[in-house]
Amino acid sequence: MSEDSEDFLDEELLDSNSIENIDIDEENKGLYEHLNITVDSKQEPLRIDKFLLIYRQNSSRNKISQTCRAGNVIVNGNAVKQNYRVKPGDQISVLLTHPPRENVIIPQDIPVNIIYEDDDLVVVDKEAGMVVHPGFGNWDGTLVNALAYHFEKNGEKSDLDRVGLVHRIDKDTSGLLVIAKNEYALSFLAKQFFNRTTKRLYWAFVWGNLQEDEGTIRGHIGRHPKNRMQMSVYEDGSQGKHAVTHYKVLERFKYMTWVECKLETGRTHQIRAHFRHVGHTLFNDERYEGHTPLRGVNLPKYKQFIKNVFEILPRHALHAHTLGFIHPTTKKELYFESPMPKDMADAVKKWRNYLEN
């Protein structure tokens, strides 16, 4: 009997006591799966790639192999190779990538602003209004559809069965995204986003005049108890998940403030929910009631002015400004900056002119 044929896994040992699914990154929920596994005391030695393949039967051998290669399989605190043999009592931590599979991706000839591309990845500066990936109500016309067409047109060969999303941003948020072209790049990049070692800054316009030049907003974020389309902040930690947003004021417009945000955690609508909680909702953020003029302002033609700005900037004012990460193959840092999009830049000009007159 060969060495491989002697490997076996008692599937009855794969119960709720030996594995815990941890959803840490709500912002990219569905793209990653974090597993914590305690190997059962009765488990015979078995190669870890086979062990994990039985745990996650919807994964491929190549995905497990590239997950190990990217350093995303940790046993007792150390990254292991795919031929490591699990032993009773081993503590295993795994970060698996799971690209969304809501439907079959149809390549579509849609303009997309690619600012960097190589054999492993592509960096896109997404326009506001474009959905990142297909889902309910948006089955086509997405960034994923556009990239599928781009790859097909260029004859790209990939070991992914679809575009490899590493992270995502809201439909009406503009800015930078990185997309992987192969399983190894997907796993390597996913680890950086999961561990928050990437360099990402957001620009936002928020209502009102923030008191401090710099600050931190803390508060658990969870679903709103009545409006399921919104997220709420729970300062007492009774609901939701831990969330921290750091901000710095870049320019003040008396009744609106331009801020730079750095996320310590990644929760759904984190910036939008946190700033609403402290009384400074994002400018023109309809979902969070930021689409009406600030009350109590006594300036000439103020309401008409705000209406004009809303027409210039017809979405919530949030932009993914920077993106930095370590390249999967070269291991060198890549860093990108996206300039302020035209709608936000035009809004800034209009505010400046309004306050000067």
pLDDT band with cut points at 50, 70 and 90 for residue 232: very high
- Is residue 343 part of the annotated active site? The answer reads no
> pLDDT higher for 6 or 145?
145
> pLDDT higher for 20 or 115?
115
> pLDDT higher for 227 or 26?
227
Q: Among 26-40, 102-116, 297-311, 313-327, where is mean pLDDT lowest? A: 26-40
Domains and CATH numbers, the chain: 4-97 (3.10.290.10), 101-173 (3.30.2350.10), 201-320+343-356 (3.30.2350.10)
pLDDT for residue 2 is more than 50: no
pLDDT band with cut points at 50, 70 and 90 for residue 10: very low
**What average pLDDT does the chain have?**
85
Residue of 170, 172, 285, 343 marked active site: 170
pLDDT band with cut points at 50, 70 and 90 for residue 163: confident
> pLDDT higher for 137 or 322?
322
13-37: average pLDDT: 53
Q: Quickly list DSSP for 23-87.
A: ---GGGBTTEEEEEEE--TTPPPEEHHHHHHHHTTTS-HHHHHHHHHTT-EEETTEE--TTPEE-
What are the Cα distances from residue 9, in Å, to 65, 260, 284, 286? 18, 50, 55, 52
290-307: average pLDDT: 90
pLDDT band with cut points at 50, 70 and 90 for residue 57: low
69-91: average pLDDT: 88
pLDDT for residue 14 is more than 70: no
pLDDT band with cut points at 50, 70 and 90 for residue 72: confident
pLDDT band with cut points at 50, 70 and 90 for residue 227: confident
pLDDT for residue 16 is more than 70: no
pLDDT at 8: 33
pLDDT at 7: 33
pLDDT for residue 153 is more than 60: yes
> What is the tens place of the pLDDT at every residue in 260-293?
999 998 888 999 999 999 999 999 999 999 999 9
Q: Which of 22-26, 89-93, 157-161, 283-287 has the highest mean pLDDT?
A: 283-287
Distance between CA atoms of residues 176 and 168, nearest Å: 9
CB neighbour class for 175 (10 Å; exposed up to 12, middle 13-18, buried from 19): buried
pLDDT band with cut points at 50, 70 and 90 for residue 22: very low
Distance between CA atoms of residues 129 and 25, nearest Å: 23
pLDDT at 5: 27
pLDDT at 28: 61
Q: How many CB atoms lie within 10 A of CB 289?
A: 11
Residue found under tokens 């999009």: 341
H or E segment to which residue 252 belongs? strand 244-252
Distance between CA atoms of residues 40 and 64, nearest Å: 21
> pLDDT higher for 12 or 113?
113
pLDDT at 27: 59
pTM attached to this predicted model: 0.78
